[in-house]
Amino acid sequence: MATGDPDVFPSQDVKQSTKPLVKGMALPRKAKITFDAMKMLDPRRLKPDSMETVRIMNVLDETAAKLEMSSLIPRLIDSLDSFADMLGPEITKNLLELQELSMEMEHLLASSGEETTRAEEQRGRLCFLEQSLKCAMRNVLRCFLANPSLLQALKPKARGAGSPAEVFVRAFGTFRDFMLERLLTSPVEEEGKNQFVADISLQIKKHTEAITALQAKLAAAIQTREDEISKKDSVIKDLKTRIEDLTKDSKISMQRIKEEGANQQKVELQASQSRCAGLQQDIEQLQRQLTTLVVKHRASELVLRKRKCRLEVEIWNWVQKYDTDMAEKQAEYEEVDAAYAEEKAQLSLLTEKHALLLQEYTQIQEERKMLQEQEEEALNELNTKNRAAARIQALWKGYLVRRLYRPKKKKGKGRKSKKGKK
């Protein structure tokens, strides 16, 4: 239950600062949300304050861990060959036993609906299989609890996304959070939370009423706009009629303009014929000038052609030289590329070796950490025993001293009493 989401419930007092959406209509003021109420709704701020709560949460946490381990077992059984090296012989044996018992129970349950004559024997066999299955499951869980590092390594590989077991584990985690919140919420905080939810509901109701009023005004505005559109449609129809009249008038004027253009074309045609005769004389004169210029420029064209051939030969030589240089560069590039590929292969081998060494280093570090913890526990136990031995020796020495001095005190008292009698 994520009741302390900061996006839904702000952690400070909220004041109405927005302007009304419609003139003459003010939005309702938001209810104040105090910091204590938000602290009450946020489960991350809750901490256990009693031994009973801690014990209950420990039981729920252990149950969640066992459920998570149980959810991995079907996947491990289905892919037992691929996980056998990681699991080891003991766990593999227990899983095979669990698989056999499960298959036998399924077969027995399937056959129980077909045969009704041996119902008592089947019920007894079913009870025995149920007890054996529970024992096998306990053995598997004990093996996993004894080797937590193996369990952590199997989780990402054997977890099935979207499986019913995974959904149940997540639901149990949600139930655990809900129980923690319920255990750590006092009656006063519960009452404050209910009041806070009631204020939020009232605020939502007021906002809904405001939205309804705005929707009514929106409908009225839409109706007004539709009326204006109908008026504009009538104006458009009138304009279309006028356009049709203008089209007819324009056709008449176009016919008149065409007749005038035909008369003017005849006049301009005669003028253009006279101009064409003058232009034909100019063309003949320019043709004679062109012939003279062609004869004049053929000599210069021959010189330019020779120069062009010489430049083409030079360009061909440069192209050949460029091809030779590029072939040498290509050979050099291939040698560098081959050296690069070899170094890249060596780098990949070194990377794989580094990964293996890093894995071995991590395992060695974990073993050293476990040995250090065991040495610290042994040292603490030795210190406790030494202190206990020192206290016992001190008590024993005190007892011996008191025992030595007790008879002397009694003798001194007897002598004093005899002197008094004399």
Mean pLDDT for 224-241 is: 88
Task: Measure the CA dihedral 381/386/389/390, to 10°.
Answer: -140
**pLDDT-based confidence at 414, cuts 50/70/90?**
low
The helix (run of H) or strand (run of E) holding residue 29 is none
Side chain identity at residue 251, one-letter code: K
Q: What is the pLDDT of residue 131?
A: 80
CA-CA distance, 232 to 234, in Å (whole number)? 5
pTM of the model: 0.33
List strand residue ranges (DSSP E) for 134-264, in order.
none
CA-CA distance, 280 to 287, in Å (whole number)? 11
- Cβ-contact 173, 64 below 8 angstroms: yes
Q: What is the pLDDT of residue 3?
A: 38
pLDDT tens track for 84-138: 667 777 777 777 777 777 777 777 777 765 555 566 777 777 787 778 777 777 7
Q: What is the pLDDT of residue 157?
A: 61
Q: Does 58 or 3 have the greater pLDDT score?
A: 58
- Cβ-contact 38, 13 below 8 angstroms: no
* Residue 14 in this model has a pLDDT that exceeds 80: no
Side chain identity at residue 79, one-letter code: S
pLDDT tens track for 366-406: 999 999 999 999 999 999 999 999 999 999 988 988 888 87
Q: What is the pLDDT of residue 319?
A: 92
